[in-house]
Structure 1
Amino acid sequence: MILIVRRLIIYFWSICLLKRHMPYDKDEQSYLSQLGARIRKLRKAKQLSQEALAFEADLDRTYVSSVERGERNIAVLNLAKLARALGVEVSTLLQEE
């Protein structure tokens, strides 16, 4: 129960922050969305849920979800955690198509 409440608090807090402040221009937002789409594509290819990927990467599921939607400017260390959990190099995640 506590975990559910914690996740709801984090979710609503992140929604409030996004509504208040969207600091990215169109090109930056496009890049974040493309990065998120690559992460989602690799996750699905590995047949992992967001929760399973988050567990493997030691991140919160809501964080992974917001990265996949292009809502986060992901930190380098978190990008490395996701790459490791997906079994790819960080450079693979950063390649533009």
Structure 2
Amino acid sequence: MNIKEKFGFKVKELREQKGFSIEFLANISNVDRTYISDIEKGKRNVSIEIIEKIILALDSDFATFFNELNFKK
């Protein structure tokens, strides 16, 4: 799994834990819903600004979010 896929998986996992639809996350993060869908599928290189919008909308923070990603091969 590459970093884009790991990031997308984590976004989807947190979104589903919160009970958010992609549409709702798009609305509260001000990120297009198709863009979020592509992120969750690991198809997008995401800018730091978009990462911040999504993490804040998911009521998380950078440290917590990235500490939960597994960067090992």
Query: Of the candidates 46, 50, 65, which is equivalent to residue 93 of structure 1?
Result: 65
After TM superposition, which residue ranges in structure 1, 4 or more long, deviate above 3 angstroms?
none
Deviations 1:34-89 (A, max 9, x none): 11000000000000000000100001000000001010010001000001100000
Q: Residue 54 in 1 paired to residue 34 in 2?
A: no
TM-score, normalised on structure 1?
Answer: 0.67
Higher relative contact order (CA 8 A, sep 6+): 2
Gaps of 5+ in 2: none
TM-score, normalised on structure 2?
Answer: 0.87
Please report the RMSD computed on the Cα atoms of aligned residues, expressed in angstroms.
1.2
Please identify the structure whose Cα radius of gyration is greater: 1
Identical positions, percent? 30
Query: Of the candidates 45, 52, 63, which is equivalent to residue 17 of structure 2?
Result: 45
Q: How many corresponding residue pairs? A: 69
Q: Residue 63 in 1 paired to residue 63 in 2?
A: no
Query: Is residue 66–residue 72 contact of structure 1 (8 Å, CA) maintained in 2?
Result: yes
